[in-house]
Amino acid sequence: MPCKDRAGLAPSEADAALLIERLSCIPAHADVPPALAELKKRYRLAAISNTDDDLIAGSLPSLGFELDAVITAQQARAYKPDLRLFRHAHAVLGVTPREVVPVAASQPLDMAVCRTLGFRAFWVNRRGETAEAQYLLSQRSPASTRWRGSSRRRTPHSRAPRRSGGGRRGREESRREC
């Protein structure tokens, strides 16, 4: 018996395939490529994505350059907020949690892990959410302060590591035209 949604409709195999195809072609927000390109001049950049390899592969070309690494939930066999995803990423990158600064989009999926592991991050608040204390490092630390940057609120959490030599480790490329 096919799975039905709340309206009683059952998507077909073709519907599911089309959804996956479209999800894998979602481009980066317009402000992301220039910001990351500027950061890439000084730092190593990696994506830690709560998705499968084939889904993120279609979106990466919209950046206009390659990241130093792409780590997915599929590779780690764990989805955010599972700490194993972040620990896997640190191992692949050869860094400690204190040597990275995640740019987070989700309080419960990203910021919660940063707090649990005790490292700082930048929260890009595209939805205009209220910062929840349970996701901040502490009420008295600089991590709990906020400032205005462009039109979004960001929560500062630390300095990023300097870009070092070395490159991508064993990353297969899979790209789709979108």
At residue 71, the pLDDT reads: 97
Q: Give residue-wise pLDDT tens across range 66-79.
A: 999 999 999 999 99
Q: What value does the mean pLDDT take over residues 120-134? A: 89
pLDDT band (50, 70, 90) for residue 36: very high
- What are the φ/ψ torsions at residue 7 (nearest 5 degrees)? -85, 0
pLDDT band (50, 70, 90) for residue 8: confident
Q: Give residue-wise pLDDT tens across range 77-100.
A: 999 999 999 999 999 999 998 899
Positive or negative, the Cα torsion across 55, 95, 113, 126? negative
**What letter represents residue 27's amino acid?**
P
Please name which of 94, 96, 80, 95 lies closest in space to residue 48, comparing C-alpha atoms: 80
pLDDT band (50, 70, 90) for residue 49: very high
Q: What value does the mean pLDDT take over residues 132-161? A: 48
Distance (Å, whole) CA 124 – CA 157: 12
Distance (Å, whole) CA 101 – CA 147: 17
Given a cut of 50, whether residue 148 has pLDDT beyond it is no
pLDDT band (50, 70, 90) for residue 39: very high
- Interacting residues of 151 by C-beta distance below 8 A, sequence separation 6+: none
The number of residues making up the chain comes to 178
Average pLDDT over the chain, rounded to whole? 78
Q: Which domains does the chain have, with CATH numbers?
A: 43-155 (3.40.50.1000)
Given a cut of 50, whether residue 162 has pLDDT beyond it is no
At residue 42, the pLDDT reads: 95
Distance (Å, whole) CA 146 – CA 164: 29
At residue 16, the pLDDT reads: 85
At residue 6, the pLDDT reads: 80
Asked whether 149 and 31 are in contact (CB, 8 A), the reply is no
Please name which of 147, 151, 122 lies closest in space to residue 136, comparing C-alpha atoms: 122
